[in-house]
Amino acid sequence: MIDLHSHVLPGLDDGAADLDESLSICAAAAADGIEVLAATPHVRHDYPTSPDAIDAAFETLKSASPPVELVRGAELDLAELDRPKEELQRYALGGSSYLLVEMPYIGWPLDLADRLFRLRMQGFRAVLAHPERNPDVQDRPELLEPIVAAGTLVQLTAASVDGRLGPRTRACTKTLLDRELAHMIASDAHAPEIRAIGLAAAVASIRDDALARWLTLDVPGAVLAGVEPPPRPISRPRRRGLVGR
C-alpha cells in the first residue's frame, strides 16, 4: 500500500518527537503492509514548517535506513496556500503537482472552493485530508461535490473508515465512499502503535478488494506519478460494502 499522510519526520510537529519514534512509525507502517510512506508534517500557524526543515529531517530519517520507501510532502493549512508557486512546489507530494491540504476540523471554510481553484490555476491539484472528521461535512456531505467535480481528491483517515474515531465519522466515510466523493485512505500516523497506523484494518472493513486497492494503491500511486487517477472500479452491490450496513 501507499500511504500519503504521516507525521513521521522527527521533531517537526506533533508527530514523531525524535529519530527513534520516526523509525518506530516506519516499522509499524511496514508491518501494516505499507511500502511507500509520505512524510507530511504540518505547515500551519502552530507548526510553520519550512521546506528546508522538511528536507533536513527527511535526510536524517532516510539516512537511518527506514524499512519503507519515504517520499517528501507536507500537510498545508488552508491559510498557507498563498505562497509563491516555487515554494508550494517544495511541499508537493513526492515532487508531483499534488498538494496535501488539511481540512479544518470545525466549520465549512467559505473560501475553500476559491482557494482550491487558485491552486489549480497555479498548476496544482489538492488532496483534501480528512473532511469526514468535519461536522459540517458529516451533516451535508454534498458540500464536497463541487470541489470534487473541480478535480480535488478526497483522502479519508484510516481510523475514520473502521470506526476508531466514532460512529458519526465512520458513517460519513461510508456516505462519501457510496457517493464517490472519496479517493484514498491514509494513516495520518502520529505515533508508532499499529492501531495508530491502521491502514490494513481500514482496508479489511471495506468488503471490496478492488475498491480497497484503488484507495490505497492505484490512486495514491497516480498522485505520486503526477497523473490523473485511474477510474474507480465498478461498485459492488450495496450489501458488499462496508461492514455494518
| Closer CB to Fe ion, 4 or 212, in the complex | 4
Task: Quote the least distance from Cβ 62 to Fe ion, whole Å.
Answer: 20
User: What is the rounded distance in angstroms from the CA atom of residue 185 to the CA atom of residue 160?
Assistant: 9
- Asked if residue 143 lies in contact with residue 154, where contact means CB atoms within 8 angstroms, the answer is no
| 8 versus 68: smaller Cβ distance to Fe ion | 8
Q: Which is nearer to Fe ion, 7 or 125 (CB)?
A: 7
Residue 188 contacts Fe ion per CB under 5 A? yes
At its nearest, how many Å lie between Fe ion and the CB of residue 235?
28
**Using the rule CB under 5 A, is 75 a contact of Fe ion?**
yes
Distance CA 164, CA 16 (A): 21
Nearest to 229 by CA among 240, 237, 239, 219: 219
Judged by beta carbon, residue 157 or residue 205, the one nearer Fe ion is 157
- Work out whether 218 is an interface residue with Fe ion (CB under 5 A): no
C-alpha cell at 151: 478535480
Query: What track of x and - describes contact with Fe ion for positions 142 through 181 (by CB under 5 A)?
Result: ----------------------------------------
Q: In the complex, what is the shortest distance from the CB of residue 93 to Fe ion, in angstroms, rounded to a whole number?
A: 13
- DSSP letters, 70-136, are EEE--EEEGGG--S-HHHHHHHSGGGSSEEEEEPPSSS--TTHHHHHHHHHHTT-EEEEE-GGGSHH
Task: Give the whole-angstrom CA distance, residue 144 versus residue 182.
Answer: 10
Question: CB of 10: closest distance to Fe ion in angstroms?
Answer: 16
Binding range to Fe ion, per CB under 5 A, among 75-83, 104-112, 143-151, 214-222: 75-83
Query: Residue count at the site for Fe ion (CB under 5 A)?
Result: 2
Residue 188: CB minimum distance to Fe ion, A: 4
Q: Least CB distance from residue 2 to Fe ion, whole Å?
A: 16
Would you say 148 and 154 are in contact if contact means Cβ atoms under 8 Å apart?
Answer: yes
**CA distances (Å), 65 to each of 9, 22, 51, in order?**
13, 11, 21
Query: In terms of CB distance, is 153 or 211 closer to Fe ion?
Result: 153
Window contacting Fe ion (CB under 5 A); options: 73-81, 150-158, 165-173, 201-209: 73-81
Q: 205 and 159 in contact (C-beta within 8 Å)?
A: no
Binding site for Fe ion (CB under 5 A): 75, 188
